[in-house]
Amino acid sequence: MKNQKTIKQEVSISGIGLHSGKRVTLTLKPARSNYGIRFARTDLDTPVEIPASVGNVHSTTLATTISLGGVRVSTVEHLMSALWAMGIDNVVCAVDGEEVPILDGSALPFAQLIRKAGVKSLRSPKKYLVAQKTIEIREGSKWAVLRPSREFRIRYSIDFPHPVIGKQDFEFSSSTDFLKEIAPCRTFGFLKDVERMQAMGLALGGSLHNAVVLDDTSALNPEGLRFENEFVRHKILDAIGDFSLIGYPILADVELHRAGHDLQTRLVHELIKTPDAYSIWVPRSDEAFESQFCLTTAAYAL
């Protein structure tokens, strides 16, 4: 039986917030079965916990922000992606500010933090959301489609009129090694947008230390790219983070073209509110799981 998982011990990491530029500390704490993933604001007089669910998504501009009762936590997607990859179902993510630290702009430091904490199996069985219907959202030349499938798969394609990016596509499936192929891929932005945002008081923490920054012709980071197609791989990292807001690992075939946090979270919303579009499945045994679905990523083997 696939059991739910949490972390073995409390771990912390500090860094700056991408948008505020302020230093913030993230502490991950073990949680019991069926607790889910919750973000806690520890800097407030009355501590607040916000369940990481699609119903609590407040904004998808630039990053995914969740909120509850006027209290918010921003830039949750890279941490959510790492928690998904490491198979963590229950954990408290405590932050002493409005943002999760951006660290190097990828999910790798979060994955390493979770690995440092250790992964612990709980008694309750893991639950999966199984897509039963095709859900589709189109907006001009962008689209997001989700189809029933025996495994979780994402195909992502992007098309930026920029010499370093251009057309890129990548397929993530159960055979992709998330930690090697996806987790190290950093967020990216264009210098002219960064300058414009910083003039508006946004992306104040953005720098070459936590993002790939592009001018009109090249990437400005002296160390270069981690993969030639690091951009589309990062889009997959973000999408996994957004899909993890469902609250269960999802079994569906997802196709995304020039999507982004907005289209991805709208697709998830549409799935959740469509009658008979999904079922929640609890495998009774390893055999039942293996015979019906194949999830063999390194992460799930942890």
Whichever of 230 and 238 has its CB closer to Zn ion, that residue is: 238
Give the C-alpha separation, 182 to 240, whole Å. Answer: 10
| CA 199 remoteness from chain centre | 28
Query: Does residue number 238 form part of the binding site for Zn ion (CB under 5 A)?
Result: yes
Site for Zn ion contains 253 (CB under 5 A): no
Looking at the Cβ atoms of 60 and 149, the one nearer to Zn ion is 60
| 234 in active site | no
Contact between 106 and Zn ion by CB under 5 A: the answer reads no
CA angle, 202 then 203 then 206, to 5°: 160
Taking CB under 5 A as the binding criterion, the range among 127-135, 197-205, 209-217, 235-243 that sits at the site for Zn ion is 235-243
Q: Which residue lies nearer to Zn ion by CB, 188 or 300? A: 188
Asked if 98 touches Zn ion (CB under 5 A), the answer is no
Q: How far is the CB of 15 from Zn ion (least distance, A)?
A: 15
Q: Binders of Zn ion among 52-71, rule CB under 5 A?
A: none
Q: What type of residue sits at position 260?
A: G
Strands 11-16 and 166-172: unpaired
| Cα–Cα dist 232/165, whole Å | 9
CA pair distance 26, 255, nearest whole angstrom:
32
Please state the closest distance from residue 91 (CB atom) to Zn ion, in A.
20
d(CA 116, CA 31): 16
Establish if 187 lies at the interface with Zn ion (CB under 5 A). yes
Shortest spacing between CB 16 and Zn ion, in angstroms: 16
Whether 27 and 78 have beta carbons less than 8 Å apart is answered as: no
Catalytic positions: 261
